[in-house]
Amino acid sequence: MKRIVLFLATNVAIMVVLGITVHVLGLNQFMAGGQLNLTMLLAFSAVLGFGGSFISLLISKKVAKWSTGAQVIETPRNPTEQWLVQTVQRFAQKANIPMPEVAIYEGAPNAFATGPSKNNSLVAVSTGLLQSMSREEAEAVLAHEVAHIANGDMVTLTLIQGVVNTFVFFLARVVGFFVDQFLRKDDSQSSGTGMGYFITVIVMEITLGILASIIVMYFSRQREFRADSGAATIMGSRQPMISALKRLGGMQAGELPSNMAASGISGKGGVMALFSSHPPIEQRIEALAQQR
């Protein structure tokens, strides 16, 4: 329940901020006198599309800690925490990135990396993963998360999400405008937009949003292949990552909050693979096995 409340509260806060921003900038005045100002509409769409993505990126570490209950290791309290910090530090040095924050959270096997930049990142691992994997397998997962940071995957996915969001907002309102004009072509007395506009915008945002999510998830799956390859490079061998993936394939990965699903380690097959942020485990193993 806490995760749901935090997710909803975060999104409501983002939309309020963006709503105030477009109002102050006057970007919400993209329709006047029955005419559509495409330049103003594109600016309006870009503020909403990129604004939401970048605000989410900027607060990603805080939201991740709140929603998972992850506790950052300030001073290691036991050998496991000591090993965890030293391992991430060693991998960060190999990947030539600043030391990320390292955290542990209670839960089923999973791990994630998040943060607004390479200089401000977080690697978190669940107690379930540490308990169910060998040290070498857990190291491979940590190397995978460090590779995500080194590749700048959080920023890349944010930019892609921003672009597709912008076009969803833009195209939905363009189609809504013309549908509304068509429905009201014989009504010269009316001014402003009618119900046809609002209904069309809602339907188009849902439809285009579904198509856009397929695009975003495709890029998310590609970054997983790159992070697997990066983990093999960091560790000097692809076998530990292959072993870790095989282990993950035989267990139920822990659920992450919906706003962090793309940061985890799970993957789906079948039709739902189009909407999955991660490729099926079998494909990841095959890609690693064929890597030279």
Helix or strand or coil: residue 253?
A: coil
DSSP annotation of 291 = -
Mean pLDDT (the chain) is 86
pTM of the model: 0.84
Q: Of 127-141, 206-220, 240-254, 272-286, which range is least confident?
A: 240-254
pLDDT at 146: 97
Q: 179: helix, coil or strand?
A: helix
| Nearest CA-CA partner of 170 in 211, 216, 218, 204 | 204
CB-based contacts of 31: which residues, under 8 Å, 6+ apart?
37, 41, 177, 193
189 vs 60: which has the higher pLDDT: 60
| pLDDT tens digits, one per residue of 104-131 | 999 888 899 999 999 999 999 999 999 9
Say which of 145, 205, 282, 286 is annotated catalytic. Answer: 145
Which residues, 6 or more positions from 52, have their beta carbon under 8 angstroms from its beta carbon? 14, 15, 18, 162, 165
Residue 167: Cβ-neighbour burial (10 angstroms; 0-12, 13-18, 19+): middle
| Predicted local confidence at residue 171, as pLDDT | 94
Q: Tell me the average pLDDT across 155-167.
A: 93
Q: Is 255 noted as a catalytic residue in this protein?
A: no
Helix (H, G, I), strand (E, B) or coil at 172: helix
Burial (CB < 10 A; 0-12, 13-18, 19+), residue 232, is: buried
Structure tokens at 106: 């209670």
E strand or H helix at 35: strand 35-36
What CA–CA distance (Å, rounded) separates 215 from 221? 10
- Rounded (10°) angle between helices 135-150 and 195-235: 120
Mean pLDDT, residues 261-278? 64
24 compared with 155, residue with greater pLDDT: 155
Distance between CA 123 and CA 40 in Å, rounded?
Answer: 40
Distance CA 151, CA 237 (A): 19
pLDDT at 254 over 60: no
